[in-house]
Amino acid sequence: MHTARDASFAAALRLKVRGDVKELESLARCSTYRIGGPATVLTPAHAEDVAGAVRHAAAAAVPWFALGLGSNLLFPDAGLDALVIRLGRGLDQITGRGDEWILGAGAPAPLVAKRTAAAGWGGLHKMVGVPGSVGGGVVMNAGCHGAEWRDVVQSVHTVDALGNDREVAAADVGFSYRRSNLGHVVVVGTTVVLRQEESARLEEETESLYKWRKEGTPFNQPCCGSVFKNPELARDRDPALPRTSGQFIEATGLKGLRIGGAEVSLMHANYFLNVADATAGDVLELMRSVRSRVHDQWGVTLEPEVKLIGADGETIRLST
Ligand SMILES: Cc1cc2nc3c(=O)[nH]c(=O)nc-3n(C[C@H](O)[C@H](O)[C@H](O)COP(=O)(O)OP(=O)(O)OC[C@H]3O[C@@H](n4cnc5c(N)ncnc54)[C@H](O)[C@@H]3O)c2cc1C
């Protein structure tokens, strides 16, 4: 199989699509973890260029990987053989038409939160502290403070693995807790329906949620947010016992545990930080160690929320 690292692949891609094509781009620069080796990265200028890139990759039998702001993934130290299609400028529109807003996949969710709040439309304003893109928010069904993307999405605009445009209605997206079921597609945008509210109140809420984030989480340090999903537990569980992943990790006495350059945050136990040039291997080992110690003490198996990425861009499981 060819890889996106073949010199001829990038050269031919440049001739076919508009947008920036970088070879040997450090994926550490494309992820909030600041971890990951080199890859060929395309930042497409328009949706048609996404389709062109997917078709070019398919014809060359090269795998591809859709990337947003890299705030929920762990790239391999050796980099990727896949073509990375990074949604950003050019696909970042934020346009309101009454209660309907059309959002480009590359727009940052915190910016969408602020713009919609300022215009007096509620529903996405709570995403102010989720540092991902619109596309990543939809794919991950990201959420916080009781709000999730699935609450507002009306339809999702995608480019499928053959390079065809497809509009997927919300009911067919397959949203569930921190995931969707769109398959191997690139999300290029979404249409959401928001509710009209007083802008001053929305902006006040947005500001106080952002303050809470900054004070309660290691927000500005290299990390990927929550490492593990919250486990599903019996509703009538004793409230004195841990319930969230962070509570389990803290109650197991693992705050501050360090492997290589990766450390369990002292501020929030479900955040693992890159404190000193951590490798993906360090983070994976820390995840395994935390998971097995929590399991030994509580009998609960924590499942990753962060996407662990393999050499071809596939999602891999956390091995034991
Ligand atoms: C400090 C911090 C706090 C966070 N807090 C929260 C929180 O409160 N709630 C929460 O839910 N998450 C949180 N996260 C995680 C993360 O921000 C969200 O999951 C976010 O929605 C991911 O978006 P992204 O653009 O960074 O996606 P990426 O990390 O780039 O990608 C994540 C996955 O989505 C896929 N993907 C991304 N864009 C596209 C696209 N356009 N088309 C197809 N597939 C795509 C990727 O292939 C990958 O599988 C936090 C992260 C950090 C660093």
- Ligand 1 atom 12: residue of nearest CA: 142
The answer, yes or no, to whether residue 320 has pLDDT greater than 80, is no
Q: pTM score, two decimals? A: 0.96
Give tens-digit pLDDT for 141-171.
999 999 999 999 999 999 999 999 999 999 9
Pocket test for ligand 1, best of 50, 140, 309, 314 (most atoms within 8 A of CB): 140
Average pLDDT of span 282-295 = 98
Give tens-digit pLDDT for 201-219.
999 999 999 999 888 888 8
Helices of type H across 166-232? 199-216
Q: How far apart are the first and last CA of the chain?
A: 29
Does the C-beta of 307 come closer than 6 Å to ligand 1? Answer: yes
Would you state the structure tokens that stand for residue 75, as one six-digit string? Answer: 């790239």
Give tens-digit pLDDT for 25-35.
999 999 999 99
Average pLDDT of span 183-187 = 97
Average pLDDT of span 307-319 = 96
Give tens-digit pLDDT for 37-89.
999 999 998 999 999 999 999 999 999 999 999 999 999 999 999 999 999 88
pLDDT of residue 220: 85
Average pLDDT of span 260-275 = 97
Q: What 8-state DSSP symbol labels residue 274?
A: E
Q: Is 205 noted as a catalytic residue in this protein?
A: no
* Average pLDDT across the chain, whole number: 96
pLDDT of residue 219: 84
Q: Using CA atoms, how far apart are residues 155 and 195, in angstroms rounded to an integer? A: 16
The answer, yes or no, to whether residue 1 has pLDDT greater than 80, is no
Does the C-beta of 229 come closer than 6 Å to ligand 1? Answer: no
Catalytic residue among 55, 178, 179, 258: 178
Pocket test for ligand 1, best of 67, 160, 312, 316 (most atoms within 8 A of CB): 67
Catalytic residue among 226, 245, 263, 291: 226
pLDDT of residue 169: 98
Helices of type H across 271-314? 280-298
Domains of the chain plus CATH, in order, are 7-86 (3.30.43.10), 94-197 (3.30.465.10), 218-316 (3.90.78.10)
pLDDT of residue 319: 85
Write phi, then psi, for 94 (nearest 5 degrees). Answer: -135, 100
